[in-house]
Chain A
């Protein structure tokens, strides 16, 4: 372990997190200068450039000020929760996000639960029945499922469960909590498909690796029940790779939620992103891109910290493994 132990590792990770998000914000802010021509005409594309509108945009981005000052003003506003104003809705981006974040949150959570349950279960079953029929079936299933993009999943699930069987609604968000969740089931499954395959494969290989180790043999020879060995000795040690991908899962789910929300007509952060890209509503795109990047980096940091606590040897990659 590095000098200073865990607290030092944690602080280091947090510093990297802050720096990465700051760098990302610089990139996202200055990306509009990559477009040839002046920023006003870029921001006003597809809209009537009335003098008032131009003035409002110039003020929002402080375009008459020096470039660095523009960035720092924008950043200061961000930190105060002010993400600017949407061009298409003529509303504050933060208000828009607040009304839509809930739907995306529940979609991602529901999907995460489905991925966790089915991915872990399939991976464990495959690992424990290694080389047998169940294992082969799960491997073939995972290879196929991994190739199903979320929008294809959405099409197939809608065709099957909404149109043919009529079990689930194919469109819209629903009202009230239970109805909302009911409307989210099909989208959550569509979102989950690829990731179930991923989690199942990682769980399987991680457990197979653990099962072959001596400590498992020792535990078994000491007369422990199979269940106890599997859960206390194998799964616990196999958790690390699963944890690592769950950090990346967050980014995958957030980004893919935009596809699923668009496909099912859900009004969430993802469909807002797609709509804003479509209508060139740059302030909204900027805000959502930055939020997703921040959440992604944050979840990776949290995962790193958790795995450092679970297994101090992995902390800061000291090569003690």
Chain B
């Protein structure tokens, strides 16, 4: 939800400091994220079964030594689908976060460095994109270009770019006013060298921390699209579509197949948020404001 991102970057939140400074919370987030990244990368070796293998004699079996988290309505192993689902569920947000960060840095740098008409035009464009909530833009993109991961990821990248760009623009404007930039200019160094070689490295950590926080929002938004049947398409396993496929079984008391991916999403988003907040707090402490 883009509105959360906006608020996060705009409203200082001293309330979270007590949480951020907790080493246990940070350690928890690191452990959780490492485990999930490990499972996602090495999915074929970690998962006990083939995630797409149907076993119609073993449908909706509860947790057992053979199937730790039971099976779904088609007899597929829930744990294996969870592990393979981590790949698609994390790949989307990764693409969006990297894409919007790179684009946002480029546009924000141009806007903050040159100012004037470039800044004015870009700012209006950002304002227009801000008017489109990211999930809405993704739905429009799906209507135009079809279901799957590509269209929503592209739309989401566009929707998140202005948030990054605006932050970069402010940071660049602040950096540009510092004596070291003038000093380099006086010594005859070129603008591109100062901008990319000297200013950029100073702002990247702050921007990176904010982008880490975006990851959680993008993850839940893309999962929402899959849940609605508009994102990642079956038979690919994805946490959102796993919930979608198992929602019907909820009525008959089959809670586990829907609950497992739900818990996975919540745990990852919590871990990412704690991790990102810790990061931005540490970096925020180092940078002179």
Contacts and interface: CB of A to CB of B under 8 A. Distances in A.
A245 B14 contact: no
A277 B259 contact: no
Interface SS, A side: helix
A274 B244 CA distance: 14
Interface residues of A, number: 68
Nearest to A131: B18
B18 A139 contact: yes
A163 B250 contact: yes
Nearest to A148: B266
Given A159-B255, A194-B1, A297-B131, A285 B139 contact: yes
A159 B13 contact: no
A278 B259 contact: no
Interface in B108-159: 127-128, 131-133, 135-136, 139-140, 142-145
A42 B196 CA distance: 43
Interface SS, B side: helix
A277 B274 CA distance: 34
Interface stretch (B3-11, B33-41, B74-82): B3-11
Contacts of A251: 3, 133
B94 interface: no
Interface string A25-46: 0011001101100000010000
Contacts of B145: 35
Given A146-B4, A155-B243, A255-B136, A27 B128 contact: yes
B133 A24 contact: no
Given A241-B11, A282-B143, A139 B250 contact: no
B214 to A, nearest CB: 14
Interface string A280-295: 1010010001001100
Nearest to B244: A151
Interface string A151-186: 110011011000100000010000000000000000
A34 B18 CA distance: 48
A45 B4 CA distance: 35
B270 A147 contact: yes
Contacts of A170: 250-251
Nearest to A147: B269
A205 interface: yes
B69 interface: no
Given A20-B128, A208-B15, A296-B131, A163 B3 contact: no
Contacts of A131: 18
A282 B145 CA distance: 12
A144 interface: yes
B86 interface: no
B266 to A, nearest CB: 5
Given A149-B265, A285-B139, A252 B3 contact: yes
Contact of B132 (A147, A274, A293): A293
Interface string A13-26: 00000001101100
A259 B19 contact: no
B223 to A, nearest CB: 7
Q: Can you list the 5 inter-chain pairs with the closest CB atoms, starting with the nearest? A: A147-B269, A248-B3, A149-B220, A205-B15, A152-B262
Interface of A: 20-21, 23-24, 27-28, 31-32, 34-35, 42, 126, 131, 135-136, 139-140, 143-144, 146-152, 155-156, 158-159, 163, 170, 194, 198, 201-202, 204-206, 208-209, 241, 244-245, 248-249, 251-252, 254-256, 258-259, 262-263, 273-274, 276-278, 280, 282, 285, 289, 292-293, 296-297
Given A24-B128, A144-B270, A274-B230, 11 more contacts: A139-B19, A143-B270, A147-B269, A151-B227, A151-B228, A156-B259, A205-B12, A248-B7, A259-B224, A259-B228, A274-B139
